[in-house]
Amino acid sequence: MANDTINLANYKQLQERFQYLFDDELIRKICEVSTIRKFPAESVIMEIGQTITHMPIIVNGSIKIMTEDDNGEELLLYYLELGDTCAMTLNCCSRETKSAITAITEEDSELLMIPVEKMDQWMVEFKSWRTFVLESYNTRLNEMLSAIDNLAFNDMEHRLTKYLRDRAMVMHDGRLKITHYQIANDLHSSRVVISRLMKKLEKNNIIRQHRNQVEVIEFQEK
């Protein structure tokens, strides 16, 4: 792993990569105070409980951000690519707390490491920095919600598919007169969750939906 101090000689390189994110003055400030660190693939660059001294921005490569559940099982939250930073790290930087995530490079990567003490200062001084931080929060939040959706719904999707197929077999009819509310009660779930999953099954051509009726396609086509 190499650690190279960035100075104004590297200005053109950073401008090429980040001019779509930051104004010229901010890029020069970044050159003055930051470092670039290179990591090979599968390097752990941050661990849960680690004290955060720098905020990383991806220059090259990609990183996966993981967290742990109460049983210590790792859960994937999202991936970071060129120009991305980690919202969890931003949050820890602003609150002076320890890392709540593990960050691992997916491939050989270069990270722009910005000292955490610049976070608040640049939020006041540079609109482009403020916009970057707020948009990063929003993007990563949406990705985390998507990850939570996957964890919450995948198993239920399997149960729902099996439920519909079993019911069609029992009824000897692929046309089921049933509402989302009834399905939710049978599966001890919520109507909102079932409605969302039913739309997904319909998109995947497993079912067709009508008012108070569901067609299980594989049984209709036999």
More confident residue, 137 or 72: 137
- pLDDT value at residue 151: 62
The whole-model pTM stands at: 0.62
Q: What's the token pair of residue 98?
A: 């320890």
pLDDT in tens, 204-220: 999 999 988 999 998 86
Give the lowest-confidence range in 18-22, 127-131, 185-189.
185-189
Task: State whether CATH 3.40.50.10490 applies to domain 3-125.
Answer: no
Q: Where in the chain is the domain with CATH 2.60.120.10?
A: 3-125
Question: Within 13 A of 113's CA, how many CA atoms are on the CB side?
Answer: 16
- Pick 153-220's CATH classification: 1.10.10.10, 3.40.630.30, 3.40.50.10470, 3.60.21.10: 1.10.10.10
Residues with Cβ < 8 Å from 103, sequence gap 6 or more?
Answer: 44, 45, 46, 56, 63, 64, 65, 66, 80, 86, 89
* CA dihedral (94, 95, 100, 102) positive or negative: positive
> pLDDT category, 182, cuts 50, 70, 90?
confident
Mean pLDDT of the chain: 82
Whether 4 shows a pLDDT value over 70: the answer reads no
Whether 150 shows a pLDDT value over 70: the answer reads no
